[in-house]
Amino acid sequence: MKILLISPASGCWRKVGRRKLFNGRTFRFSMLSLLTLVKLSPYDAQITLIDEQIDEVPPDTDFDLVGITCMTATAPRAFELADHYRKYNIPVVLGGFFPTLNPDLALQHCDAVVIGPAMDAWPKLLDDLRANRLQKRYYGNPAGQVPASLPRHLLDKSKYSTTYATYATMGCRNRCKFCSIGTLYKSQHYCRPIPDVIAEIRSFPSRFFMFVDDNLTQNREYILNLLKELAPLKKKWITQASIEIADDPDLLSALQTAGCVGLFIGLESFTQSVLTLTEKGFNVPFHYKKAVETIHRYGIFVEAGIIFGFDNDDIHIFQSTLDLLEDIGIDAVQVSILTSLPGTPLYEEFKPRITDSDWEHYDYRHVVFQPRLMSAAQLQAGTDWVIRRFYSPWRILRRTLRWLAAPGGLSNFIYPFVLNWAYFGRVISFKIKGYNPALQPLPFVPNPIAQKNLHPTFLS
């Protein structure tokens, strides 16, 4: 059986990935979704694996099956590719975040969708295809056995920051309104058996790896046991966690001992009412500074996630957030524009004011709705301005050099240093510029949302 597996990339990502310099390599790590499919396929299947950020889709049309993974931003490209192969009567299967949350939309462009993880679902689908009885929907079991030892050798190491990414847990018990993780995993947090995770990590030849978990530390007993087993392996790694871990010195100490050098933490906003109303009230901005200081004491850098565009955000939010990020000592930041991803509670709430339904723009970089207290242009410009300012070379040097004096010294300095310059590269390659709308106010244009007050739940 000849199978083509594609991870599509949308417009600018496709261009950037092929460059020699500033090609986003740091932000590209192993394609766990498609490697899992390869592993679950019969050993005699001939598989072509395409990561469209770096590879060209082959012109051949003699495949028995095409499988495409997609999230919202890559769905249009996935549909384009799916339509193309279906013209040649090749069955196409879609899986991943978008098809799982919107199977009916996906089924307009494919023969079958896999809803949820591929475990159980993919082998059954291949059997059905062989027996000529392909169904439209296949349901994966998130608690199913994750295959060990993925065929990472299929990836060109030089094109990825690491091909050694893995996960110990899936999902998150919280249900922040803007996030698709809570919705997709129905607020469940699944944990893989610790011996499986350890065996996989032990097999990694590299010292550095990453956990792509959405909230690795959510199950305290599980994580403490995992960290105990991980420590003797003497690896260095990064992952995502919630800010609440700053209140848990035992957990922080265990993280440090087990080699954790960096955490991505979704702070999202410095406005408490915004956090409360988006179901993320467990984040308390008043405590951010102390929390970051505490995490730093354990030699762990903090990359913050920040979102602009909430209903309380006006044109002054950009300067104040930039100042606060510096004040609390954040090491790197991923700045996003609030995006109402289809399938999330936010999407339903924002439906009346969505101005752009091109899914390709649902990549956290575009404004796809009418903000309440500023124009869409101001939201875009202010977001870009914060990114450019935060990643100015001078600021990068100032905040990363302090790691030389911190616990871990040179070996811990390298991670925030590389990450910051990678973001700098993104500023250059995506030509991110922007301006501070508070300093260059546009002529007043009546904002229909501010007047009609369509979404009072978002107001303080």
- Residue 97 interacts, among ligand B12, ligand SF4, none and using kind-specific CB cut-offs from 5 to 8 Å, with ligand B12
Q: Which is nearer to ligand SF4, 25 or 280 (CB)?
A: 280
182 binds, among ligand B12, ligand SF4, none (CB under 5 to 8 A by kind): ligand SF4
Q: Is the CB of 32 or the CB of 454 nearer to ligand B12? A: 32
Size of the residue set binding ligand SF4 (CB under 6 A): 12
Residue 72 interacts with which of ligand B12, ligand SF4, none, CB < 5 to 8 Å by class: ligand B12
Give 252 or 346: the residue with its C-beta nearer to ligand B12: 346
Cβ of 448: how many Cβ atoms within 10 Å?
12
Selection from ligand SF4, ligand B12, none that 118 binds (CB < 5 to 8 A by kind) is ligand B12
The one among 95, 96, 266, 299 contacting ligand SF4 by CB under 6 A = 266
CB of 176 to ligand SF4, least distance (A): 3
Residues 98, 100: Cα–Cα separation, whole Å: 5
Residue 184 sits at the vertex; the CA angle it makes with 274 and 255, to the nearest 5 degrees, is 75
| Residue 364, phi then psi, degrees to nearest 5 | 70, 5
CA distance 155 to 151: 8
Q: Which is nearer to ligand B12, 25 or 296 (CB)?
A: 25
Residues 6+ apart with CB under 8 A from 40: 118, 119, 122, 123, 147
Q: Are strands 137-139 and 2-7 parallel, antiparallel or unpaired?
A: unpaired
| 176 interacts with, out of ligand B12, ligand SF4, none, CB within 5 to 8 A per kind | ligand SF4
- Cα dihedral angle (389, 363, 316, 425), rounded to 10 degrees? 0
Residue 370 beta carbon to ligand SF4: minimum distance, rounded to whole angstroms? 23
Contact 6, 52 (CB under 8 A): yes
| Residues found near ligand B12 in the complex (CB under 6 A) | 7, 9-10, 13, 27-29, 31-33, 36-37, 67-69, 71-74, 93, 95-98, 114, 117-119, 122, 167, 179-181, 212, 214, 341, 363-364
* Residue 204 interacts with, from ligand B12, ligand SF4, none (CB under 5-8 Å by kind): none
Pick the closest to residue 302 from 411, 405, 412 (CA basis).
Answer: 412
Nearer Cβ to ligand B12 (214/384): 214
Give me the least distance between CB of 275 and ligand B12, in Å please: 17
User: Which residues in 203-232 contact ligand SF4 (CB under 6 A)?
Assistant: 214-215
In the bound state with ligand B12, the residue whose beta carbon lies nearer, of 266 and 299, is 266
Q: Parallel, antiparallel, or unpaired for β 236-241 and 260-268?
A: parallel
Least distance CB 17 / ligand B12 (angstroms): 9
DSSP 310-357: -TT--TTHHHHHHHHHHHTT-SEEEEEE----TTSHHHHHHGGGB---
Residue (236 or 280) nearer to ligand SF4, CB: 280
Written as six digits, the tokens of 219 are 């199950």
Residues 151-190 that bind ligand SF4 (CB under 6 A): 172, 174-176, 179, 181-182
CB of 218 to ligand SF4, least distance (A): 8
Q: Using the rule CB under 6 A, is 242 a contact of ligand SF4?
A: yes
What lies within 8 Å, CB to CB, of 89 at 6+ separation is: none
Residue 8 within binding range of ligand SF4, rule CB under 6 A: no
| Residue 231 burial class via C-beta count within 10 angstroms: exposed 0-12, middle 13-18, buried 19 and up | middle
Residues sharing a CB contact under 8 Å with residue 86, sequence separation 6 or more, in sequence order: 92, 109, 110, 111
Which CB atom, from 278 or from 383, has the smaller least distance to ligand SF4? 278
Comparing CB distances to ligand SF4, the nearer of 168 and 176 is: 176
Among ligand SF4, ligand B12, none, partner that 364 touches (CB below 5 to 8 angstroms by kind):
ligand B12
CB 17 within 8 A of CB 24: yes
Q: How far is the CB of 426 from ligand B12 (least distance, A)?
A: 10
Contacts to ligand SF4 from residues 267-286, by CB under 6 A: 280
Q: 131 exposed, middle or buried (CB, 10 Å; 0-12, 13-18, 19+)?
A: exposed
DSSP sequence for 105-139: HHHTS-SEEEES-STTHHHHHHHHHHTT---SEEE
Binding site for ligand SF4 (CB under 6 A): 172, 174-176, 179, 181-182, 214-215, 242, 266, 280
